Amino acid sequence: MTFGTPIYDDNGVIKNAILYCHGSLGNFSSVKKIIPLTENYGPFDKSKYFFISVSALGSPGSCSPSSTDLKNKFPKYSIRDVSNFQKQFLNEKFNIDHLLGIIGVSMGGFVALTLASEYPDFIDFVICGVSSYKVAGHDFILSKFVNEIIESDPDYNRGELTYSLNRTLRLASLAEFNFGLSKEALRGMSNVELSIEFENFGNESLEVDIYDLKYCNESCMYYDVENDLDKIKSKVLIVACKQDPHFPPELDAIPMSEMIKNSELIVMDSQLGHLCFNELETISGELKVFMGEFDDC
């Protein structure tokens, strides 16, 4: 998906492109989170910038285990592969070899930081939202747990969908339920409401392909750019959420901001927790100040 106003340099190449990178198993439509901020005079004013949103390698609708029908024979891939996929796509389809910026959310933040550290001259700015510089601690164990659930099903290696695999997919997805909304939001619901939300979450997960989930989970599990953060030349804005159960600011965003020399940090206060980018308007002012540096691209 593209929208906004492309501005071309003397060679006819778009010079104001901003790439949006979605979270795990999302797709190009996830860019809708920032749409409210793209109106005239908003921080992402579409009259100033040209947005490109791509369904990532491994995600449904892109090259993935489900879309290729390779299932468990699909080649394993890493976040670096996902990042290189984005870079190659931009070059082949848009002739872009330099971006004004990248906005990456959750896994999309992994992609953004990988690109910024692997190709230091490729991007002017990075906005890294509810994300981290590595998967570690409770987050690594969560990924291991999801893997264990999936691999425990004897039908997994058959490469075809069975009733057992559907049940296993639901269980593996439900392991993630506690890592979306904040603990405060969950405590604010009655047990009856929680049970309904839990049930709905499990049912919605059946729309995901179990092989897409497994491969994406493994690609994130071993993500780690801690030793490469000093290579980043881009201006970096780190957006965290105080109530994020996935990436608590004190464990992820704050230490990351100290390791990236040209960085700023915003910590949102939102009961949406890891899903706080759904109310990004609450920090519209701060985003506008950050983006002001890039108005005259």
Checking 94-98 for CB contacts under 8 A at 24+ apart, the result is 94/14, 94/17, 94/52, 95/13, 95/14, 96/13, 96/14, 96/17, 97/13, 97/122, 98/15, 98/122, 98/123
Establish how many alpha carbons lie within 13 A of residue 90's alpha carbon, considering only the half-sphere containing its beta carbon: 30
Given 153, 212, 244, 252, the catalytic residue? 244
Active site residue 97: no
**Catalytic positions:** 244
